[in-house]
Every structure is written in structure tokens, then in C-alpha cells.
Structure 1
Amino acid sequence: MLGAVLALGSVSCTTGPAGDSMETVFGMAPAGPDGTASAPAILGQQTRSLTIRDIVRASFEIAKDDLQPCLNADRRARLASLQPIKIIDAKKLHVLSVYEPQSRTITISELTWRNFAFAAMSEKLAEIDNRFDVEWRTRYRLFLRNKDAFDDVQSPVQMAGLPKGWIGAEVSSELVRHLMEEAQYNATFVLAHEYHHHLEPVARQTGESVSAFRQRLREHELAADRFAMDMMLCRSVIERSLDPMVEVPQLFFDWILMLEGKQHALSAETHPLDHHRARNAANYLIQKLQLLSPSPDRLEMIGVTRELVKVADDIDREGPSVFFGGINEEAKTVTRDSLRFR
């Protein structure tokens, strides 16, 4: 069960220490007359000098622009008061993003997003080298889950022990574009979720008990996920493609496998369990997709999303402590040396 579940996740977003360039992370070989490879135009840099932080920052800027057509004039005006997105270098903050109502700021945990990018990178690398097979990628994800100090984690290329220059410049540029696309779609979902918190603030009512207020906060999180799903559906309609929606189940797969049970205890008081959020979002997505005209792509999307519901049901059936206890024990057995290619 564990291997099958881990193999389902194909990851999402991106970021990493500001000093880790793409050349360092990918082991890229310089090419071309100036010794560099070109990056997507939105980034305005050469791939060789890019950092993963550049990618995540650009992806949120793109997501912000892409959400504009999906928001009415009133919502756009209210969102204008938001401060610029803040990316923090949190070593042990196991969250994707946080909305701070007092400062009207959305904060992104950089190192958490970096690990999501690394997992996504391993999926793409499997198309280049068959040594990045399902077994290796499963063990790599277990290693990511087991590391509390995120700055102690390296990219798949580095963990495999591949030499600098292993990836050519052309492939490196394609890899950056792949991460950029995934980051854009996932940033759209996360940003829309945080937008909902800003647009529909929750305050404790007079005479309301602490437990009742916390329950409302948990329900508010589910509502924010559904709002984000509507925004993703809007983007899919605009792009005439299901590609944005495909990333949502993958985001939740890795969210469960890499983060559930690792967040700060306060998170459980205000947020549903991650796999409950995943099931809520998946069922909502299935409901929406079933309203659309049937097509092979949509039927496949429904099938993938139902797998996410099944995973959440399996966790409840086995019990989260037992389910993740087994994952945690297996994660402890994965060493750096075991991930190096022989």
C-alpha cells in the first residue's frame, strides 16, 4: 500500500535557498556561445544563474495575473489591499502558505516548497534516466518526509551522486520550464485559497466557545479549498485545458505524504487533517467535472481524483497514527548512501 500511495504523487510547487542556482541543483552543463542556457521569458534570466526562489516568486506573480479574469470587480478591489507576497526561509515550518490578517500578508514557506519542487524534479528526471524509477522516487520522498532540517536535503541529482555537467543545458532549460509550469498551477491554487481568507475573514462571535470557533475555522479552511478549486476550474476554462486541474490531486498526494502529521500542533486546532482536506477537495472536483460534457480527458481526471479519495479513506480506515507511523518507520531506514546510484 505504501509504495502504491507514494508512487501516485507527482508533486507541485517550488523554492529553495536563495543561493542554490539551477546550475548547482541540476548539475547543468554550460552550452552555447555564452556558456549558458535560456530560461523562460517571465524569469528574465539565464538558467545557469536562476535560483529556485526566482521560480517560486515568478510563479506567484503569474498566478496573481491569471486569477484576475476569474474575480469580479468587487473582489479585485478588496484584494488590492493585500501586501506583496512574502517568502520566508523557514527551516522547520511545515506549511505551504499562511495568511496573516493583521498585516494582510500572504507568507510562503520557502524550504517546504523547495522539497515539493525536488519531488517534482525526480518525476521529470525519470524520463531522462531510468535509474530514477518508482522505487528510487519512493525512497527519495520518504527521505524528504523524514528530514526535519530542510536545509539538509539535496536535489535528486545531488542525492543520486551524479557529477556536475550530467544534464546538458538544453535538458536543464526544459526541466526549468517543467517546474515553472507546475509551480504556476499550484501557486494558483494556493494563492486562491489564501485570497478566500482575505475576502471572507472569520472572527470569533460574542459568546462563542473556543471549541465552536475552532470548528468554524476548520470549516472555513474547507471552504477556502473549494473556492480555490472554482478558481482553478475558471483557469482551465480560459486555457481550454485540464492541465491546471491535473496538478490539484498531485498537490494533495504529496501534501499528505510529505507533510501530514509534521505540522505544528496549533495547526490541528484550526485546520482539518490534510487527508480530510484532500477528500473534500477531490469530491468537490469530481462533482464539478461530472457537470461538464464527458470526454476521455475528463473521465481520466475523475479516475485520478477518485484515487485521492481512496487514499484518504484508507488512512481513516487504518487510522492516521497507524498509517503514518508505518510511513515514518520506513522513512527512517532511507539513508543518503542508499539513494546514491551505483
Structure 2
Amino acid sequence: MLYEALEAQARERLPQVVFDYFAGGSGEESTLADNTAAWARLRLRPRVLRDVSSVDTTTELLGSTLSSPVLVAPTAFHSLAHPDAELATAQGTREAGSLLVLSSRSSRRIEDVASHAGPWWFQVYVFRDRGLTRALVQRAAAAGARALVLTADTPYVGRKRRNRGDTSLPLSDEDFLANLEGLTHRALAEQAPDVTFADISRLSEDSGLPVLVKGVLRADDALECLHHGASGLIVSNHGGRQLDGALATADALPEIVSATEDRAPVLVDGGVRSGRDVLRALALGARAVLLGRPVLWGLATGGAAGVRQVLETLREDTAHTLALAGLSRLSAVGPDVLAPPRAP
């Protein structure tokens, strides 16, 4: 399996503290494990005798036409994985025809990454220094970001199971401060614990961009986000890195899709590792999925080419899975593709 092989290769190449930083989850890592297991619990009901001689995986999302419904999730400090850092990630994503969500904690300047990217969105933490947040989103808009992604599940950073002893990362001040011009104290770049739904419209006003909210696991929160102007939702538990014991994203997704009734696109991340998982997510009503750790492993093992290979391999696996399920296009995917849950 590509993911398992890539992870093993990345483990060999990266310092242990860096691998653990990327791979680890919070608490006892129960949510981290359940993210992957939850997709596998969903069984597929393939159709037969359909013409699948040609399978189309292209999709359109907030005005961007993409080669597949697989996007690159925001992850921090890519310089820890490869010397070319986010520049390589952006290039590989562009070459694969996908979309990059660039982290606020990028180790390369927004403008430099934008010059290597295809379509991209900018992930936002609302920092304790609100002026810093405003300046970042305005820079992102000026550099060509097509949307903002507000990470909403991180008022404080979850305590990780790994690295409890030595938590120091080989991260230079230059990498840490790449996008924090004028910062007088590192503490001001910590996430603000008083972020509310009102920040959604505030970010949109500051940037002139649509805002998606990432970290939603409940229908009532999803509806409140839309009420306050969100243009999309990302069902996410931060890759199992925040509240351990939170439900898997595959389990949270149906409730949110049902409640929002196509008022805005719903995306999902967490544990997606195969074309089967992509099909399952689409069948549950997601418009697209986001990929985090597999992209980091591709970056660590092959730079831009490694990122491109991860995305292209998953696109090809998605097309192959669609064909085996008797589906020739994404619009044909519906809830009937999934079998009813097994009786307890």
C-alpha cells in the first residue's frame, strides 16, 4: 500500500522528533486511530453492467476546477520535512491539478509559496495579536488566495502523546517567523482562546474572500457557522491532534451534510488513505476530501515530485474505485453506494 510504504520511508529519513511531530495525535491517540478505522467500517454496494470505459474525476469547488476531489490539507512547517518546504508542496500540488490549503504556520513566505502554486486557499488561526491575523489574511488575498479556511478547533493546542520528553523541533527562527513580520513576542502568535462565530464575517470583511470553517463536528455548530457567513465547512478533528476521544470524521459527516442541506459545500479530512475512502466520503455527501500526513510523507521522501505522486496515485485509485463500483463520474455518487450498517 502506497501510504504505508511512504510512512515507513519517511520514518527512516526524518529525525524521530520530527516524524513524531507529524505522525502523532493527542492523548492516547484513540481519535487518530479511529479516523482511519471509521472509513473502513463503511461497506460499498457496487453497481454492475455500467459503461465505465471512461471515468471522470474532475470537480469544481468554489470556482476552481480540479483534477480530483482530493485537496492538500493545511499542515505546519514543511521545512521540517524537506529543504524546499512549502515551495515544493505547492509545486507538486499544482502539477497534480489539485488545490493547496496553505497553513498560517508555513515556513515559507505567503508570497513565495503563491508563486509556485496553482489554486490555493489560506488557512487562518486567529492569533492573540488580532492585527497580525488581519495583516496575514490581507497579504494572502493580495497574493492570490481564493478563500480562507478558519481553523476553529484550536483555542489551545492539544497535548500530544509523543514527544513528552524532548519536544524541541529543529526549527529555525527564520522558519518559525516566515510570515510573522513585526512580531514582538512569540506568545502573540499563539491561537486566541476567545475566537467566536463573529470572527467568520470579520475575516471575510478583512480579506474580501469567502471563508470556510474547519474543525466542525456537530450539526448545530455547522448551522451557526453558515448563519454567520461561512461559505463552506470542513468536517475535521484536526487529524486526531486536539480533543482525544472526539468522534471520527466519517461518523460526524452525515449529520452535518443532512443539517446543512446543500447550503454550502461540506468537505472532510482525517484518515483518508485510498480511493475507497474518497468514494465513501463522497457517498456520505462530502464535496471533497483533504489529505494531510500522506502529503508530508511524499514531501519528505521526494520533494515536489513526491507530493505530485501521492496526489496522482490517489486520483488514479479513486478513478479505479469508481469504475469497480459502476460509476463513471463523481456526480453519479450517492448514498446508495453504501450498505446499511451491520447490526450490533
Shorter-chain TM range is under 0.3
Considering Cα pairs closer than 8 Å and 6+ residues apart, tell me whether 1 or 2 has the greater RCO: 2
TM-score by length of 1: 0.27
Q: Which has the larger radius of gyration?
A: 1
TM-score by length of 2: 0.27
- Report the structure, 1 or 2, having the larger strand content: 2
